[in-house]
Amino acid sequence: MNNSPENNLGFIDTKPNNLSENTMIDVLQEKNIDEISTKYVLIKHDYYSTDSDFGRQLLKTYLSCLCNSYYNSLFIYLVDKGTRLLDKTNPLYDDLLNLSRKCEIIMADQDSINEYGVNVSLDSEIPYQTTSSIAEDIIYLSDLLILE
């Protein structure tokens, strides 16, 4: 088996004739507003990457970007330690509260809330679902953003 680039990806050794060294090729297609109207987001932790101040700052940035995005409808799923964002004592509670104003719905995993003893402050606005119900919802989503 020969793994040379020529055999794997249709390797072209020369650049196209019409392009200079400074030409940029747009490889990502622009999406119109209709194509970015809905976004589904799964949040698995109340921090991003590592359980540290930096991880919380990273998640705060992601929540802020979602809040300021062009999406008309945001659907947020909170599972595992992500449900701890619903507690007023969580450092990112206010960020989630701001995001909730833009969201179509935020759904929280009841099993995780029970497991971590989360004192839900937004309970009148947040529907609860079992882990299996959320799993059934998200397995059919083709465009799911996972923050973990």
Residue, of 32 and 94, whose pLDDT is higher: 94
Count: domains in the chain? 1
| DSSP H/E element including 145 | strand 144-147
Residue 69 lies in a domain: yes
Asked whether residue 56 is assigned to any structural domain, the reply reads yes
Residue 141 CA to residue 138 CA, distance in Å, equals 5
Q: What is the DSSP string of 120-143?
A: -SSTTT--EE-HHHHHHHHTT-SS
Q: What is the per-residue pLDDT for 72?
A: 84
pLDDT digits (tens, 9 = 90+) for 99-146: 999 999 999 999 999 999 999 876 567 899 999 999 999 999 988 999
- Say how far apart CA 46 and CA 32 lie, in whole Å: 32
Give the pLDDT mean for 18-35. 54
Note whether residue 21 is domain-resident. Answer: no
Mean pLDDT of 28-52: 76
pTM greater than 0.85 (yes/no) = no
Q: How far is the CA of 58 from the CAs of 5, 77, 105, in angstroms?
A: 37, 18, 23
Residue 41 has pLDDT above 70, yes or no: yes
What is the distance of C-alpha 116 from the center of its chain?
A: 22
Residue 70, domain member (yes or no): yes
Q: Is 45 part of any domain?
A: yes
Angle, helices 93-100/53-67, rounded to nearest 10 degrees:
10
Task: Give the structural domain span for 51.
Answer: 35-147
The answer to whether 147 and 59 are in contact (CB under 8 A) is yes
CATH of the domain at 55: 3.40.1260.10
If one compares 123 and 24, the residue with the highest pLDDT of the two is 123
